[in-house]
Structure 1
């Protein structure tokens, strides 16, 4: 008896220190001495298993089970399972995840219905990185969860698995089924609120699958059907997934449930976002726009209001829609600038130590006389990818003089998807940071890099970037390219040119407008693919005059559309191609209604689907004889692409930045034909260009020639002008000590 105990004790000691060979030998001796002690078989098999001898381990376990009476088989099985479960837990704590996974797989062979063990296998598979796309189904977890109730279910383990499934790309498609099965076990919605919301945000934005994100959030609403925060995100994801009707419905529900002014502002923005993305809801757009401006005015009047970080972050983005609706920059910016001031005050109050440290750093840097060195230029944006900003800013990265400038890229919400432009920026920068959505962390990274001039490419289009800018982590901060100036007081300069803003604009911009000598943007060109669009495919005669407007629903204004219908009516044998993301039924109804009012036959309107790639879109522009721009929000990248393809364009010049983009681009391409200063002139140019083929050909020839000479197509020269601006900004900063 003493020998048996001695063997077991020595075997246990050897096992605990990982000497499984010696442990197996000792357990074999214990079995020889006392074959009736079945626990030694369990431990011997386990020792063999951990040496990789899986078949021998199974045979060892089967020996006592094969000889046991029916009444003791269940007892033996439970003993074996308990030992295996304990060892799996021990191996996991030791960090031996593969061994833990192997043991759990053997537990599953013995008891495939053990839900907690199957959950553990999936969790370990994900952590190890060998999780297959079908593993969730093969483990039968969802089916087991549906066999309600699973009384032994480890809820904490289930939630960990759910969180990991959400975060694992090849399991995404199964996550709604898993979540639906989990709902039966959740008594309090808050237990999974943050898991579900953070997962949906990542899936919808980072992994670019808004449809799946919406599906996930819709499931959560079964537990908490009036959760306004979930509804806000759900409205966005439905809209992004082009499910416009649901996106609008959820936004309306948000607005109805909102009680705080800040929440009403954002809910009105969500509703405008849905209505304008769909296109065609003009009366509702105008009513909601008035409501938004009323809420903003009330909010300004009610200051100071104590609002949290989340509500603060939502203050600026709602301004995005207004310039699409009306061209009244002085009035618009009076309200927007006050909101931006409140935004900055709140952000700095939420992170006072960080803001104070950055402010002192700027003062110290200004006082310090620096020896000649490279200027550190940082570009911060979520759009350094396949996005309008990504297509246009790349030439700056290409042509920067690295002898005088050190270039940093701060890629906000770096997307784990295949995006060659995103990768271009990471390689072209001297130092690129692939960042998440934590503004304090982003600001601290910029501060640690000791950036001299920080260039914001997002303006108000991303709240996280606005938060970074409001903290002012760099001594000089500049807005360029994205949307319009943000109005945030921490921004020193807004990059413009002689054309894109009228001379009176400084009266209503808090930022100093820095006008480059010729153009605020230039590119070396665009990649052009093979066209997939033919006139015969659209039943358009070869001798017809084809007009085109390629813009999303946001830019469809009824007055501009009315001008376009007047042009079509006046030009015989003309057709109008309408392209851009929008709700198909509503946008067609929108155009058909105005066409009917202006006496234009519906058959002359052709609605086009989106092209699979940007290069094919550019190639397909060649089907058009004339492009009709939008107003009061012009094209930007679309205008550049049109001019690059040598196609005449008609634009209406307004007062605001968004209403003068095409104007400055045409001037810098050397083309004045098609620039209209009134509504009537827009129609006149449209008709003239349609009827005068020689004029069209002349403009097309000029545009092709301009590729060799125009400022618009000289990215290198433009970069030198931007660099001169940076040098002058830095000199002024040092002089103003």
Structure 2
């Protein structure tokens, strides 16, 4: 189908709209595109551009309608199908997103990031068609002859060298040509260190649930805390709590990266902390422009940024031993307990009954509440073997409707009655935490293990079986369990994991003793002692600043263990 030509005036409107779009002036861009479409309503390229604007404005239903209409007129446009996939997956319509990504890749197999997005969408609904092929493509992410893969998806390969290479490749492309600007002279009127935390997830999000109590308890005699929000405002209690927890909250969602970097420089931020890494919505370009004297990777991404402009990564000796520092572009800062903060004040609702959660009154409940995207065919097959060997057992999962249908089909193919899978609907966090305690044993995924979810389980006294590997992402649950006195439930192979889980399910007395140890033991208090954690991370920040002020280059450092001041809350 031929594309209708634009008049000179319409071409000028298109150019003006595109320039406004690039500068982030989305309302202006949309206005120009709509003027054109009033005269030429069947122009797929203009519809495509307007759809991109509507996506950025979070008007996703309108964006999807525009993409679909444009695809009818221009079905061979791979980028159009790819952007339709992005719109679908942004509102958890992952099955439709996967179909759009597959269509895009069929038209253009070299499409950058296409393989990663197809992998993610398929995994999100537990559609494991071509899973091995997609994983193999991700394993080639460092090959410049292959399409680029978003670094985030290399976390499903237990290969820190691959994760570094993929991250470096993405950073080189995205940040090419960005020249760091000189930093202004620091006004040290009150002598406090100015910390900025930058995130797109200051909302109802697992990372915010981990971080917010730390923001509240930072020592204000030594630190001034600013939050830079580069993501949407969901108006949730979590968002409002972050806004109230900091000295200054700045909404930068509509900023261009250079504008946010300039805000940080004008405020004299000493240490700018990236809570995103290569997760969705990140703006690595802010740091490429050198927004602060010290720039730190922290919490949101269990891997390296691959960027030479990030000075430090905050970790602990278990998840990132110094022997593995060669796989990180940053210098490693070890906190003595764990890199992960936790909020001891999170509310937990009254515990429901099993019946209220769709569980039978008796029988063994295996729980697997990780994001469905972390689940792979081999792990699910292992879980089905456990169900087959433990009579009257069931597997309790979190999954959307499409994933549920796929998992039931996989269970039946493995010889397991699909009704032995019980699916938990999404609930507010206090209710979710309360119901987790009803399970008997949490089964972890690999190589991307439970992170916030592991803390949630330990918080309510639910033991886990986990497996560790070589990568940061594979070790997080293991470290949290060590701190909680459950190091004996950390395995290092699929065989050991399966043997241990089966043994615990068959030995109720042993499992009850472990649960009692977890619920009554004092070891777990270290995981939720936010004052102890605060003292440790603040010592790290002060050490970073001391080096920077002395003109010394960043270097590896370790914070010495020390008791916290004050209470655990």
Instruction: Identify whether the pair has TM-score above 0.5, normalized to the shorter chain.
Output: yes
Q: 2:197 aligns with which of 356, 379, 382?
A: 379
Deviation at 1:494, TM superposition (A): 0.9
| Contact 1:548–1:628 (CA under 8 A) maintained in structure 2 | yes
Deviations 1:424-461 (A, max 9, x none): 11221111101124212111111211111111000011
- Residues 1:609 and 1:507: Cα distance change in structure 2 (over 3 Å): same
Deviation at 1:537, TM superposition (A): 6.3
Once residues 372 and 612 of structure 1 are traced to their aligned partners in structure 2, the CA distance between those partners, rounded to angstroms, is: 44
Once residues 539 and 724 of structure 1 are traced to their aligned partners in structure 2, the CA distance between those partners, rounded to angstroms, is: 46
- Tell me the residue number matched to 2:91: 241
Q: 1:250 aligns with which of 85, 100, 104?
A: 100
List aligned pairs for 1:348-497, cutoff 5 A.
348-349=176-177, 351-352=178-179, 355=180, 357=181, 360-361=182-183, 373-415=191-233, 417-437=234-254, 438-462=256-280, 464-484=282-302, 485-497=304-316
- Tell me the residue number matched to 2:407: 587
Once residues 446 and 587 of structure 1 are traced to their aligned partners in structure 2, the CA distance between those partners, rounded to angstroms, is: 47
Deviations 1:589-615 (A, max 9, x none): 23433x33xxx4444333x14223222
- Tell me the residue number matched to 2:41: 186
- Tell me the residue number matched to 1:321: 153
Secondary structure (helix, strand or coil) at the match of 1:279 reads coil
Once residues 386 and 219 of structure 1 are traced to their aligned partners in structure 2, the CA distance between those partners, rounded to angstroms, is: 33
Secondary structure (helix, strand or coil) at the match of 2:512 reads helix
- Residues 1:299 and 1:462: Cα distance change in structure 2 (over 3 Å): farther
| Contact 1:341–1:489 (CA under 8 A) maintained in structure 2 | no
- Tell me the residue number matched to 1:689: 504
- Residues 1:670 and 1:295: Cα distance change in structure 2 (over 3 Å): closer
Once residues 320 and 278 of structure 2 are traced to their aligned partners in structure 1, the CA distance between those partners, rounded to angstroms, is: 18
Once residues 328 and 459 of structure 1 are traced to their aligned partners in structure 2, the CA distance between those partners, rounded to angstroms, is: 17
List aligned pairs for 1:574-653, cutoff 5 A.
574-581=393-400, 583-593=403-413, 595-596=414-415, 600-606=416-422, 608-653=423-468
Deviation at 1:242, TM superposition (A): 3.7
| Contact 1:197–1:230 (CA under 8 A) maintained in structure 2 | no
Once residues 211 and 587 of structure 1 are traced to their aligned partners in structure 2, the CA distance between those partners, rounded to angstroms, is: 28
Once residues 711 and 537 of structure 1 are traced to their aligned partners in structure 2, the CA distance between those partners, rounded to angstroms, is: 31
Q: Which structure is higher in helix share?
A: 1
Which stretch shows the higher mean deviation, 377-386 or 517-526? 517-526
List gaps (5 residues or longer) in structure 2: 1-12, 28-33, 553-569
Deviations 1:659-710 (A, max 9, x none): 1111111111222242112222211221222122233333323333357962
Q: 1:277 aligns with which of 124, 135, 149?
A: 124
- Tell me the residue number matched to 1:339: 169
Q: 1:506 aligns with which of 318, 325, 333?
A: 325
Which stretch shows the higher mean deviation, 405-414 or 709-718? 709-718
Once residues 214 and 326 of structure 2 are traced to their aligned partners in structure 1, the CA distance between those partners, rounded to angstroms, is: 30
Which stretch shows the higher mean deviation, 545-554 or 643-652? 545-554
- Residues 1:639 and 1:404: Cα distance change in structure 2 (over 3 Å): same
Structure with the greater alpha carbon radius of gyration: 1
- Tell me the residue number matched to 2:69: 219
| Contact 1:200–1:216 (CA under 8 A) maintained in structure 2 | no
Deviations 1:228-266 (A, max 9, x none): 44322210222343433321121022223337x5xx231
List aligned pairs for 1:715-726, cutoff 5 A.
715-726=530-541
| Contact 2:151–2:167 (CA under 8 A) maintained in structure 1 | no
Secondary structure (helix, strand or coil) at the match of 1:203 reads coil
Query: How well do the aligned residues superpose, as a CA RMSD in angstroms?
Result: 3.2
Deviation at 1:544, TM superposition (A): 1.1
Q: 2:136 aligns with which of 290, 293, 313?
A: 290
List aligned pairs for 1:534-613, cutoff 5 A.
534-535=354-355, 538=358, 540=360, 542-581=361-400, 583-593=403-413, 595-596=414-415, 600-606=416-422, 608-613=423-428
Once residues 575 and 529 of structure 1 are traced to their aligned partners in structure 2, the CA distance between those partners, rounded to angstroms, is: 24
Once residues 425 and 166 of structure 2 are traced to their aligned partners in structure 1, the CA distance between those partners, rounded to angstroms, is: 33
Once residues 437 and 78 of structure 2 are traced to their aligned partners in structure 1, the CA distance between those partners, rounded to angstroms, is: 46
- Tell me the residue number matched to 2:495: 680
- Tell me the residue number matched to 2:561: none
Deviation at 1:227, TM superposition (A): 4.0
Deviation at 1:520, TM superposition (A): 0.8
Deviation at 1:423, TM superposition (A): 1.6
Deviation at 1:644, TM superposition (A): 0.6
Once residues 492 and 459 of structure 2 are traced to their aligned partners in structure 1, the CA distance between those partners, rounded to angstroms, is: 23
Deviation at 1:550, TM superposition (A): 1.1
- Tell me the residue number matched to 2:565: none
Deviations 1:514-556 (A, max 9, x none): 110111113233322245562476462x331111111222111
Secondary structure (helix, strand or coil) at the match of 1:713 reads coil
- Residues 1:243 and 1:524: Cα distance change in structure 2 (over 3 Å): closer
Deviations 1:320-367 (A, max 9, x none): 12222x31223x135224314523xx5251x43xx2x2xx328x76xx
- Residues 1:280 and 1:220: Cα distance change in structure 2 (over 3 Å): closer
List aligned pairs for 1:81-160, cutoff 5 A.
none
| Contact 1:563–1:682 (CA under 8 A) maintained in structure 2 | no
Once residues 571 and 215 of structure 1 are traced to their aligned partners in structure 2, the CA distance between those partners, rounded to angstroms, is: 48
List gaps (5 residues or longer) in structure 1: 1-155, 168-178, 205-209, 301-313
Deviation at 1:647, TM superposition (A): 0.9
Deviation at 1:212, TM superposition (A): 5.1
Q: 2:476 aligns with which of 657, 661, 664?
A: 661
Once residues 680 and 189 of structure 1 are traced to their aligned partners in structure 2, the CA distance between those partners, rounded to angstroms, is: 54
Once residues 383 and 508 of structure 1 are traced to their aligned partners in structure 2, the CA distance between those partners, rounded to angstroms, is: 26
